[in-house]
Amino acid sequence: MTVSFSKDDLRELVGLVAHDPSADEFPVTGWDAVVWVVGNATLTAHYFRTVYGMDLVAYSGPETGNRDHHGYLLTSGEGDAAVRFVVTGAVDPDSPLAEHHRRHGDGVGDIALRVPDVDRCIEHARRAGARILDEPHDVSDEHGTVRIAAIAAYGDTRHTLVDRSRYHGPYLPGYQARHQPGSGEQVFQALDHVVGNVELGAMDRWVDFYHRVMGFTNMAEFIGADIATDYSALMSKVVASGNHMVKFPLNEPAAGKRKSQIDEFLRFYQGPGAQHLALATTDILAAVDRLRAAGVEFLATPDSYYDDPELRARIGRVRVPVEELKKRGILVDRDEDGYLLQIFTKPFGDRPTVFFELIERHGSAGFGKGNFRALFEAIEREQAARGNL
């Protein structure tokens, strides 16, 4: 599917808002890439291409002079909204990626962000006390020059900051164009948000980090009883870049009767990390049908969710009959600005850690607060089945 998104489309798709970057000390234009570290990059890239319909666009590996690891750049969507997944896995047994994978399993190592001025961001981040992992520097090849730097986020997660305004290659120097289109229709057109799970008591520290270091603002707040079930509870706050293109909900466990899903994540990821990536789609029904046909498993939503008269009244009219949502287990939430449709996959890899959300927004700028209880109860059924509750 070839779609080019206008600003209006982005407003609808991911909640873009107007923002003046000149007054922003750490302006962020949008996502640059989600860099995965996995145990088998070759197969994972194949999975994203055949199951999610992503296009393979560039490659780095021994054949291109990179003897350390494989890197596959896959994209979904078009124009400013296009999502880049970079899937990396060790070739050299001594690669740092091998150790990263041994510790964390398959996961997100880097949430790279596009910024217009890397040096200005790093100067500000340094003054605000951030840990600078890579000082600003140029990397060049025959396609031009990228200005790049990196700061530490929660756990071993990094934020690489990228200014690619003087670069015309497919991704970064070291990567060569390699075209292999995804099979069939693409499932998602943009990245809506990436959720971070942090340790008990650390959420406010990370919210403060995104405020102080990156100039992010609060979007919404869900605390305590909103998202407590009998067994688990969590606290969650959402920070976003000035234009709302980049949204980071941050979760920490809260005291429940038993182990929460956040505790389970922290144990199996061996620390804080990216919990889920919300993929924005213009047609969640078609997306779910396609993914299910390809064998992707979703969290089950009980029929009672759809039959609850209170919920029916609250969600009001949506673009398809509720029966169509019920058939697929798609959740609905509504707030004063509109509604959203969402569904969650089971964990992506072997460990009960990172997973995906599909989200179709219709005006709502929320995150599905009204669904948290139904969702958590579904997650807990899975946790119980794994013997981790």
CA–centroid distance for 323 within its chain = 29
Closest C-alpha to 151, from 137, 133, 135, 138:
133
Binder among 24, 106, 283, 357 for Fe ion (CB under 5 A): 357
Q: Does residue 278 bind Fe ion (CB under 5 A)?
A: yes
Question: Closest distance between Fe ion and the C-beta of residue 36, in Å?
Answer: 18
Q: What span, in angstroms and rounded, lies between the C-alpha atoms of 382 and 389?
A: 9
Q: Does residue 280 bind Fe ion (CB under 5 A)?
A: no
Q: Which stretch binds Fe ion (CB under 5 A): 38-46, 106-114, 161-169, 275-283?
A: 275-283
Closer residue to Fe ion, CB minimum distance, 278 or 378: 278
Q: Which residues pair with 141 in a beta bridge?
A: 144
Q: What span, in angstroms and rounded, lies between the C-alpha atoms of 58 and 68?
A: 17
- Alpha helices, DSSP H only, in the chain? 7-14, 41-50, 96-104, 118-127, 203-212, 261-269, 284-293, 303-307, 309-315, 322-328, 372-386
Closest C-alpha to 73, from 35, 101, 111, 109:
35
Question: Closest distance between Fe ion and the C-beta of residue 251, in Å?
Answer: 10
Closer residue to Fe ion, CB minimum distance, 9 or 357: 357
Return the DSSP state at 152.
E
Q: Does residue 340 bind Fe ion (CB under 5 A)?
A: no
- Alpha helices, DSSP H only, in 128-214? 203-212
Closer residue to Fe ion, CB minimum distance, 283 or 357: 357
Q: What span, in angstroms and rounded, lies between the C-alpha atoms of 19 and 16?
A: 9
Q: Which stretch binds Fe ion (CB under 5 A): 113-121, 181-189, 326-334, 356-364?
A: 356-364
Closer residue to Fe ion, CB minimum distance, 209 or 355: 355
43, 81, 101, 105, 134 from 96: Cα distances, Å: 20, 31, 9, 13, 16
Closer residue to Fe ion, CB minimum distance, 106 or 357: 357
How do beta strands 30-37 and 107-114 pair? antiparallel
Closer residue to Fe ion, CB minimum distance, 66 or 76: 76
Q: Which stretch binds Fe ion (CB under 5 A): 50-58, 126-134, 273-281, 331-339?
A: 273-281
Question: Closest distance between Fe ion and the C-beta of residue 284, in Å?
Answer: 13
Q: Which stretch binds Fe ion (CB under 5 A): 103-111, 136-144, 202-210, 353-361?
A: 353-361
Question: Closest distance between Fe ion and the C-beta of residue 194, in Å?
Answer: 9
Binding stretches for Fe ion (CB under 5 A): 278, 357
